Amino acid sequence: EAGVAQSPRYKIIEKRQSVAFWCNPISGHATLYWYQQILGQGPKLLIQFQNNGVVDDSQLPKDRFSAERLKGVDSTLKIQPAKLEDSAVYLCASSSSSTQYFGPGTRLTVL
Amino acid sequence: AQSVSQHNHHVILSEAASLELGCNYSYGGTVNLFWYVQYPGQHLQLLLKYFSGDPLVKGIKGFEAEFIKSKFSFNLRKPSVQWSDTAEYFCAFNSGGGADGLTFGKGTHLIIQP
pLDDT of residue A20: 98
Question: Domain A5-97 has what CATH class?
Answer: mainly beta
Spell out the CATH class of B3-113. Answer: mainly beta
Region of B96 please: left (phi>0), alpha (psi -120 to 50) or beta: left
What is the reported pLDDT for A1? Answer: 63
- Minimal CA separation from A10 to chain B, in Å: 14
The span from the CA of B107 to the CA of B37, in Å, is 9
Average pLDDT over residues B39-65: 94
pLDDT value at A98 more than 90:
no
C-alpha distances (whole Å) from A85 to each of B4, B97, B111 are 22, 33, 29
Per-residue pLDDT, B96:
74
**Nearest 5 degrees, angle CA B40-CA B58-CA B71?**
95
Taking CA–CA distances from B98, the nearest residue in chain A reads: A98
Reply yes or no on whether the pLDDT at B98 is more than 80.
no
d(CA A22, CA A24): 7
* Interface test with chain B among A33, A49, A100, A101, by most B beta carbons within 10 Å: A100
Hey, where are the domains in chain B?
3-113
